[in-house]
Chains A and B, each alone.
Chain A
């Protein structure tokens, strides 16, 4: 992992945050990115999705993202949290303010210990013939954010990491 977060807040703190089943080691970023702030939101249902969206909007707001960018970030959080509720029942959304060189940005990481995704490539293609044919879900998140990584193991869980940098 990279530098220690300066500040870590747990939302819905009385519950233990679920440790992501797949250690989040990302090929880009982690070692270079400095974490300025971190908020973790336990996801167990609709109200948690609202909390995660709201925290994400506030964190990203401090970076000076435009209001339509804030909407897109909230959308990405919604889609990731929705997947947790839908497929894993519960999990965690971690939000971070990052610094990479001159750039600042926000990271959204969704982790769960759910069933995992058997065919990650297909899930990302959002093939125009499947139920994801509208390009929502994971492919949608990939298109809204600047960086996107996913690690999934069947039977162990899924971790999705997405970042958006302030221009």
Chain B
């Protein structure tokens, strides 16, 4: 049984007849309770509208609407507090993401540059050592060198996975093309990337979009059983669009959203885009592939 409309009607009725702080406080307390019961803003507007219409039909003067508006503001004031808290949390999340990205970039660079230099020095030392050694020992050293090269390759891969330098140096489109190439080689699944992203997007958007595309490709590799993937990027006035399409087995987005399987990946993509004020739409039908439609607002 929903008690709110009745209580709100009584309190508003009292306020319209007598005014007074204690009715306003009551509206505030009702709003506070409604908020902790998990009710939403549109729900509150609905309650107010319903009650106000009822009161107006019973016939009262014209400034009732104005007065009722003040009363309504009291009901909504607790929601304002929560709304501001959400805004702060969102800002914090954005800053956290940014510092995470810059930290990752730093680690990736030093992994690439510093350990690369060290390994180069080791190579030189080994070659100098080799001169004075027997043939048998030399062939051992050759093996050591080939192992070292593998280590180098691994480090380069790690560094690239952490933060592709091509993203910082050349922007989103080349970075995604590189990502697609590596992905195709690894999974034997052709990925085409086309579109236009000039002028370059902000570092924050580029990083987020790269991660989202990376996660989307991981999902395709894990679940889709697709034979090809296409990534399309384009700019519109004030907007950036990205569309990632595969021809795999598809899924029921509603069922996946309800179940826990894989939702972390989708949730992560959503979170990254939410922080930028962007949206993710998933269109998928079983057996007919999946399309992710991403829209991020950008400064025109």
Q: Chain A interface (Cβ within 8 Å of chain B)?
A: 47, 49-51, 53-54, 57, 67-68, 71-72, 74-75, 78, 126, 128, 134-136, 139-140, 143-144
Contact flag A140-B85 (CB < 8 Å), given A68-B73, A75-B78, A134-B36:
yes
Which residue on B lies nearest to A135, using beta carbons?
Answer: B85
Residues of A within 8 A of B22 (CB): 47, 50
Whether the Cβ atoms of A139 and B85 lie closer than 8 Å is yes
Contact flag A67-B21 (CB < 8 Å), given A135-B84, A136-B32:
no
Which residue on A lies nearest to B70, using beta carbons?
Answer: A67
Residues of B within 8 A of A139 (CB): 85
Whether the Cβ atoms of B70 and A135 lie closer than 8 Å is no
Shortest CB–CB separation between residue A39 and chain B, in angstroms?
14
Whether the Cβ atoms of A144 and B84 lie closer than 8 Å is yes
A72 to B84, CA, bound (A): 12
Whether the Cβ atoms of A67 and B73 lie closer than 8 Å is yes
Q: A50 contacts which of B21, B78, B81 (Cβ < 8 Å)?
A: B21
A139 to B279, CA, bound (A): 29
Whether the Cβ atoms of A49 and B78 lie closer than 8 Å is no
A130 to B102, CA, bound (A): 31
Residues of B within 8 A of A135 (CB): 81-82, 84-86
A57 to B23, CA, bound (A): 14
Q: A57 contacts which of B21, B32, B89 (Cβ < 8 Å)?
A: B21
Shortest CB–CB separation between residue B66 and chain A, in angstroms?
10
B35 within 8 A of A: yes
Residues of A within 8 A of B78 (CB): 75, 134, 136, 140
Contact flag A53-B24 (CB < 8 Å), given A67-B70, A134-B36, A143-B88:
yes
Give 1 or 0 for each of B17-31: 1 = CB within 8 Å of chain A CB: 000011011001000
Residues of B within 8 A of A126 (CB): 85
Residues of B within 8 A of A68 (CB): 73
Shortest CB–CB separation between residue A136 and chain B, in angstroms?
6
Shortest CB–CB separation between residue B294 and chain A, in angstroms?
27
Q: B82 contacts which of A53, A71, A136 (Cβ < 8 Å)?
A: A136
